[in-house]
Structure 1
Amino acid sequence: MDTQTIVSAIEAIVIPVLVFALQGALKDNKRLRNKRKEENQEREKGISEGVVALLRTQLIDNHKKYMREGSIPSYAYENWVLMYKAYKALGGNGMIEHMNEEIEDLPIRAAGTEAKKWEKR
Protein backbone atom coordinates (compact mmCIF):
# COMPACT_ATOMS: atom_id res chain seq x y z
CA MET A 1 0.00 0.00 0.00
CA ASP A 2 1.28 3.38 -0.83
CA THR A 3 1.03 6.45 1.39
CA GLN A 4 -1.79 7.99 -0.62
CA THR A 5 -3.98 4.92 -0.13
CA ILE A 6 -3.31 4.89 3.60
CA VAL A 7 -4.15 8.60 3.90
CA SER A 8 -7.34 8.11 1.88
CA ALA A 9 -8.35 5.17 4.09
CA ILE A 10 -7.72 7.19 7.26
CA GLU A 11 -9.70 10.14 5.82
CA ALA A 12 -12.55 7.82 4.94
CA ILE A 13 -12.74 6.71 8.57
CA VAL A 14 -11.81 9.89 10.48
CA ILE A 15 -13.90 12.46 8.57
CA PRO A 16 -17.29 10.70 9.11
CA VAL A 17 -16.43 10.14 12.78
CA LEU A 18 -15.57 13.84 13.21
CA VAL A 19 -18.74 14.91 11.39
CA PHE A 20 -20.81 12.58 13.58
CA ALA A 21 -19.14 13.95 16.74
CA LEU A 22 -19.66 17.53 15.60
CA GLN A 23 -23.34 16.91 14.83
CA GLY A 24 -23.79 15.39 18.30
CA ALA A 25 -22.07 18.38 19.92
CA LEU A 26 -24.27 20.80 17.97
CA LYS A 27 -27.43 18.92 19.01
CA ASP A 28 -26.32 18.95 22.65
CA ASN A 29 -25.55 22.65 22.42
CA LYS A 30 -28.98 23.38 20.95
CA ARG A 31 -30.67 21.24 23.61
CA LEU A 32 -28.80 23.06 26.38
CA ARG A 33 -29.66 26.47 24.91
CA ASN A 34 -33.34 25.52 24.71
CA LYS A 35 -33.26 24.24 28.28
CA ARG A 36 -31.65 27.48 29.50
CA LYS A 37 -34.17 29.51 27.53
CA GLU A 38 -37.07 27.64 29.14
CA GLU A 39 -35.52 28.04 32.60
CA ASN A 40 -35.04 31.77 32.01
CA GLN A 41 -38.62 32.15 30.81
CA GLU A 42 -39.86 30.32 33.91
CA ARG A 43 -37.69 32.49 36.15
CA GLU A 44 -38.90 35.69 34.44
CA LYS A 45 -42.51 34.57 34.78
CA GLY A 46 -41.95 33.90 38.48
CA ILE A 47 -40.32 37.28 38.99
CA SER A 48 -43.12 39.02 37.11
CA GLU A 49 -45.82 37.23 39.12
CA GLY A 50 -43.98 38.02 42.35
CA VAL A 51 -43.69 41.70 41.47
CA VAL A 52 -47.41 41.80 40.57
CA ALA A 53 -48.25 40.25 43.95
CA LEU A 54 -46.05 42.75 45.81
CA LEU A 55 -47.49 45.69 43.87
CA ARG A 56 -51.04 44.46 44.53
CA THR A 57 -50.32 44.22 48.25
CA GLN A 58 -48.81 47.70 48.37
CA LEU A 59 -51.61 49.21 46.29
CA ILE A 60 -54.26 47.64 48.54
CA ASP A 61 -52.49 48.87 51.68
CA ASN A 62 -52.12 52.39 50.27
CA HIS A 63 -55.74 52.41 49.12
CA LYS A 64 -56.97 51.48 52.60
CA LYS A 65 -54.76 54.11 54.24
CA TYR A 66 -55.62 57.04 51.97
CA MET A 67 -59.31 56.23 51.68
CA ARG A 68 -59.44 56.24 55.48
CA GLU A 69 -57.60 59.61 55.55
CA GLY A 70 -59.83 61.07 52.84
CA SER A 71 -56.94 62.52 50.83
CA ILE A 72 -53.55 61.53 49.48
CA PRO A 73 -50.23 63.38 49.71
CA SER A 74 -48.73 64.39 46.37
CA TYR A 75 -45.68 62.11 46.80
CA ALA A 76 -47.94 59.15 47.61
CA TYR A 77 -50.12 59.91 44.62
CA GLU A 78 -47.06 59.92 42.33
CA ASN A 79 -45.98 56.57 43.80
CA TRP A 80 -49.50 55.23 43.36
CA VAL A 81 -49.52 56.17 39.67
CA LEU A 82 -46.12 54.54 39.06
CA MET A 83 -47.08 51.35 40.91
CA TYR A 84 -50.45 51.14 39.19
CA LYS A 85 -48.88 51.55 35.73
CA ALA A 86 -46.31 48.86 36.51
CA TYR A 87 -49.03 46.59 37.92
CA LYS A 88 -51.10 46.91 34.74
CA ALA A 89 -48.05 46.54 32.44
CA LEU A 90 -47.13 43.30 34.19
CA GLY A 91 -50.61 41.91 33.63
CA GLY A 92 -52.27 42.73 36.94
CA ASN A 93 -55.97 41.97 36.93
CA GLY A 94 -58.86 44.41 37.14
CA MET A 95 -59.26 44.13 40.91
CA ILE A 96 -57.17 47.25 41.44
CA GLU A 97 -58.94 49.30 38.74
CA HIS A 98 -61.81 50.25 41.05
CA MET A 99 -59.32 51.19 43.76
CA ASN A 100 -57.45 53.34 41.24
CA GLU A 101 -60.67 55.17 40.37
CA GLU A 102 -61.27 55.86 44.06
CA ILE A 103 -57.70 57.12 44.53
CA GLU A 104 -58.12 59.35 41.47
CA ASP A 105 -61.17 60.93 43.16
CA LEU A 106 -59.28 61.77 46.37
CA PRO A 107 -58.03 65.29 47.00
CA ILE A 108 -54.27 65.60 46.63
CA ARG A 109 -52.54 67.45 49.43
CA ALA A 110 -49.03 68.71 49.95
CA ALA A 111 -46.91 66.45 52.12
CA GLY A 112 -47.14 67.30 55.81
CA THR A 113 -50.46 69.14 55.61
CA GLU A 114 -53.78 68.09 56.99
CA ALA A 115 -56.13 66.33 54.62
CA LYS A 116 -59.15 68.49 55.44
CA LYS A 117 -57.64 71.71 54.03
CA TRP A 118 -57.44 70.51 50.43
CA GLU A 119 -60.10 70.54 47.75
CA LYS A 120 -60.56 67.87 45.12
CA ARG A 121 -58.50 68.40 42.00
Structure 2
Amino acid sequence: MKELLMTTYTISLPIILGYIVWILKEQKKSRDANCEGTKCLLRVKLIEYHDRYMMEKSIPSYALDNWVEMYSAYEGLGGNGMVKGMNEEIHRLPIK
Protein backbone atom coordinates (compact mmCIF):
# COMPACT_ATOMS: atom_id res chain seq x y z
CA MET A 1 0.00 0.00 0.00
CA LYS A 2 2.85 2.37 0.89
CA GLU A 3 4.52 1.73 -2.49
CA LEU A 4 1.27 2.50 -4.32
CA LEU A 5 0.95 5.82 -2.49
CA MET A 6 4.57 6.74 -3.23
CA THR A 7 4.16 5.84 -6.91
CA THR A 8 0.94 7.86 -7.16
CA TYR A 9 2.61 10.76 -5.36
CA THR A 10 5.68 10.58 -7.60
CA ILE A 11 3.54 10.62 -10.75
CA SER A 12 0.89 13.14 -9.74
CA LEU A 13 3.06 15.75 -8.01
CA PRO A 14 4.97 16.90 -11.14
CA ILE A 15 1.68 17.06 -13.09
CA ILE A 16 0.00 19.18 -10.41
CA LEU A 17 3.02 21.44 -10.04
CA GLY A 18 3.26 21.85 -13.81
CA TYR A 19 -0.39 22.85 -13.94
CA ILE A 20 0.11 25.38 -11.13
CA VAL A 21 3.11 26.89 -12.93
CA TRP A 22 1.06 27.15 -16.16
CA ILE A 23 -1.77 28.93 -14.31
CA LEU A 24 0.68 31.38 -12.73
CA LYS A 25 2.26 32.15 -16.12
CA GLU A 26 -1.17 32.81 -17.64
CA GLN A 27 -2.06 35.13 -14.76
CA LYS A 28 1.22 37.00 -15.22
CA LYS A 29 0.49 37.51 -18.93
CA SER A 30 -2.91 38.93 -18.05
CA ARG A 31 -1.46 41.18 -15.33
CA ASP A 32 1.26 42.42 -17.67
CA ALA A 33 -1.31 43.23 -20.37
CA ASN A 34 -3.46 45.10 -17.84
CA CYS A 35 -0.46 47.08 -16.63
CA GLU A 36 0.57 48.02 -20.16
CA GLY A 37 -3.00 49.04 -21.03
CA THR A 38 -3.29 51.16 -17.90
CA LYS A 39 0.08 52.76 -18.61
CA CYS A 40 -1.01 53.60 -22.15
CA LEU A 41 -4.29 55.16 -20.96
CA LEU A 42 -2.45 57.23 -18.35
CA ARG A 43 0.06 58.42 -20.96
CA VAL A 44 -2.77 59.53 -23.26
CA LYS A 45 -4.50 61.45 -20.47
CA LEU A 46 -1.25 63.02 -19.29
CA ILE A 47 -0.51 64.22 -22.83
CA GLU A 48 -4.04 65.66 -23.08
CA TYR A 49 -3.58 67.52 -19.78
CA HIS A 50 -0.17 68.78 -20.86
CA ASP A 51 -1.37 70.08 -24.21
CA ARG A 52 -4.44 71.76 -22.74
CA TYR A 53 -2.78 73.53 -19.83
CA MET A 54 0.34 74.51 -21.74
CA MET A 55 -1.94 76.30 -24.23
CA GLU A 56 -3.80 77.98 -21.34
CA LYS A 57 -0.43 78.89 -19.77
CA SER A 58 -1.76 78.03 -16.29
CA ILE A 59 -3.28 75.07 -14.47
CA PRO A 60 -6.05 74.87 -11.87
CA SER A 61 -5.05 73.34 -8.54
CA TYR A 62 -7.48 70.42 -8.97
CA ALA A 63 -5.96 69.62 -12.37
CA LEU A 64 -2.46 69.73 -10.90
CA ASP A 65 -3.58 67.31 -8.16
CA ASN A 66 -4.96 64.99 -10.86
CA TRP A 67 -1.74 65.34 -12.82
CA VAL A 68 0.40 64.44 -9.80
CA GLU A 69 -1.67 61.33 -9.05
CA MET A 70 -1.75 60.18 -12.69
CA TYR A 71 1.97 60.82 -13.15
CA SER A 72 2.80 58.94 -9.97
CA ALA A 73 0.76 55.93 -11.13
CA TYR A 74 2.29 56.17 -14.63
CA GLU A 75 5.81 56.27 -13.22
CA GLY A 76 4.99 53.37 -10.87
CA LEU A 77 4.00 51.27 -13.86
CA GLY A 78 7.39 51.92 -15.45
CA GLY A 79 6.41 54.81 -17.70
CA ASN A 80 8.96 57.49 -18.45
CA GLY A 81 10.33 59.16 -21.54
CA MET A 82 8.71 62.30 -22.90
CA VAL A 83 6.13 62.47 -20.10
CA LYS A 84 8.94 63.13 -17.61
CA GLY A 85 9.74 66.36 -19.47
CA MET A 86 6.04 67.21 -19.59
CA ASN A 87 5.88 66.76 -15.82
CA GLU A 88 8.59 69.37 -15.37
CA GLU A 89 6.77 71.79 -17.71
CA ILE A 90 3.44 71.30 -15.93
CA HIS A 91 5.04 72.04 -12.56
CA ARG A 92 6.44 75.33 -13.92
CA LEU A 93 2.95 76.58 -14.84
CA PRO A 94 1.28 79.12 -12.58
CA ILE A 95 -1.65 77.75 -10.58
CA LYS A 96 -4.93 79.55 -11.14
Give the structure-1-normalised TM-score: 0.74
* Cα shift readout 1:8-53 (whole Å, capped 9, x = no counterpart): xxxxxx4323321222221111001111111111111111111110
1:40 is the counterpart of 2:53: no
Distance 2:60 2:11 in 1: 63
Percent of matched pairs sharing the same residue: 43
- Which one has a bigger Cα radius of gyration? 1
SS of match in other structure, 1:108: coil
- 1:24 partner letter: I
The residue aligned with 1:3 is none
Which has the larger share of helix?
2
* Cα shift readout 1:45-77 (whole Å, capped 9, x = no counterpart): 111111110000000011011111111111110
1:50 is the counterpart of 2:23: no
Structure 2: 5+ residue runs without aligned partners? Answer: none
Distance 1:93 1:76 in 2: 20
Structure 1: 5+ residue runs without aligned partners? Answer: 1-13, 110-121
Q: Which moved more, 1:42-51 or 1:20-29?
A: 20-29
The residue aligned with 1:103 is 90
Instruction: Please give the root-mean-square deviation of Cα atoms over the aligned residues, in Å.
Output: 1.1
Superposed structure 1 runs of 4+ greater than 6 Å apart: none
